[in-house]
Chain A
Amino acid sequence: MILFALVRHTIRELLFRVTLLILTGISTLIILVMLLSVGSAESAEGVVITLFSQAMGPPVPIDQLEQAAYLMQMSLTGGLYTGIILFGIIATAGLIPETLEKGLIDIYLSKPLARWQLIIGRILGAVAIIFANALYFLGALWLIFGLKLGVWNAHFLIAPFILTLVFACLYTISVLIGILVRNAVVPILGVLFYQVVVAGLLESRERSLYLLSQNVVYRTIVDGFYYALPQIRALQASNEQFIIHQSFMWEPLVQSIAVSGLILGASLWVFQRKDF
């Protein structure tokens, strides 16, 4: 009951955040635009995919329409991931520091709940609302592709789950920083730095970091970091591959879950030992 109350309260709290309202608004706008503008027209050479009645490219042979739609879905997913996750992190980064504010944390901790429940309740609430948003947005896009183009790509339905997982992995970093610094801005900057710089460099380490030195120890250290941190970029790439019906890479999924679990464990350990 306590955990449920915390999750419900967190969802409720997030619904009051402007950032999340903007995200939902943008999602709805894109859904409406797609719904009203995407179409298809048959021609002698195949099917033309249209946007606002304008051809988006040359006609696609009917037997390749599905593949073209998959590629569109994959491109959309890549861009939308960044947007949803960015908005999601900005909207939720303040949850933990606000929970730890003097005057409020005292009341929380005086209640018969274990400290881990407080943090887990907040995380579950944040993850639940991002999942709902992703499901709403990506689910609607899946329906639009099905209804407008007749392409019912079941693989696309994995996208909300992977997106939520990516968010959850990044959110564990935000939570750890939030507990350490008790400030809402630093976790956002920390996650952005990780997502844009660290994860980007590590994912493309063979084309970037490796060029700095050929030293084996250096490269082993770089590899060590790659395997010791959530492989967010690889996970996103794996999802995109799956959408276009290529095989799903499990390693980034398992590794990201395991490492994020460790980061979460570290957060709970730090929180357990803190005085307020």
Chain B
Amino acid sequence: MSVIEAESLSKVYYSGIRKKKQVHALHNFSVSIDGGQIFSLLGPNGAGKTTIIKILLSIVRPSQGTATILGHTVPDVKTRDRVGYLPENHKYPGYFTGEQVLRFFGELSNVPKKTLDERIPDLLHMVGLNEWRSMKVRKYSKGMLQRVGLAQALINDPDILFLDEPTDGVDPVGRKEIREVLKGLKYQGKTIFLNSHLLSEVEMISDQVAILDRGSLVRVGTVEELTTQGSSFEITFEGALPPAFTEEASAHVLKMSVRGKTISLASSTTADLNATIDLLRKHGVSITSLTKLRKSLEDSFIDLLKEGVKQ
């Protein structure tokens, strides 16, 4: 069941004294996100990633289109009842301690005092800030601010979590901890909407990825779908490849190359792939592995953006 629905969202910003200069931050963005998954938005700077989150949270009004969150239409206040948000470059009043940040924003989220008393220590422990709970946030490092920000976003035990660059400024160990937290939240059934520049990180934890470029949606899919290179395979074998094999196989493959004991090939259908394997077996070649080729998410991302530019 989808928990976030966006239909033809567009946003045009007007600038200049007479508001005549237009910036198209988002163009006809539609998406449907199922509950209990990690959905990531990728895109270069200025692609419109933050604008989407801000529209969904009623921080920015769309120029066109509609959106619903958990069945409520944006900008209804109820859409924000069950969500948490960690914005990019967030800031808190400097005189607050980490604990006070959580208490204040918990109260603004309508969380009862008794629940806050129980939840705040748990969250501080979870993000590794228990020791610094009484320190003023003005003294926090960037990484500590990210951690308290994550705890703040979780203070109302949200069903949907919007995170904009959650690991920005966090050291590798901290990043891994945050990833583990996000995976844990996913297993609790929460939906996580993630904006991140760190593609390797997104690749590790995301169920669905959407790629945005200059305000338009380029592609949505699972990491598998985005990184699989069509029907390209790699076959490793033992023994010698008969000279006739290359010519015979050309009837079944689109492209093929042999390097040492590895054959790289692209076939248009599964039947063609099987025919190629049968051919190898007929020649008595022993197959040791068959791998579907994948690109890294980073390569896929760059390729998709290049395609977008060409179009």
Give A residues with C-beta under 8 Å from B: 1-2, 5-6, 9, 12-13, 16, 101-114, 273, 275-276
Contact = CB atoms under 8 A, between A and B. Distances in A.
B252 interface: no
A166 B11 CA distance: 41
A13 B60 CA distance: 27
Contacts of B80: 110-112
B81 interface: yes
Contacts of A275: 13, 54, 59-61
9 contacts: A2-B107, A2-B110, A9-B104, A12-B95, A106-B85, A106-B87, A107-B105, A112-B109, A275-B61
Contacts of A110: 57, 59, 80, 83-85, 87, 162
- Interface size bracket, B side: 20 to 34
A273 B61 contact: yes
A182 to B, nearest CB: 14
From B59, B78, B95, B104, name the one whose CB has the most chain A CB atoms within 10 angstroms: B59
Contact of A106 (B77, B90, B93): B90
Contacts of B81: 112
B110 A107 contact: no
B74 to A, nearest CB: 12
A109 B91 contact: no
Contacts of B88: 103
B109 A103 contact: no
Contacts of A5: 104, 107-108
A103 B90 contact: yes
B280 to A, nearest CB: 58
A108 B101 CA distance: 12
Given A113-B77, A273-B61, 20 more contacts: A1-B107, A2-B107, A2-B108, A9-B93, A102-B89, A105-B59, A106-B54, A106-B57, A106-B87, A107-B85, A107-B152, A110-B83, A110-B87, A110-B162, A112-B108, A114-B77, A275-B13, A275-B61, A276-B54, A276-B59
B187 interface: no
B209 to A, nearest CB: 23
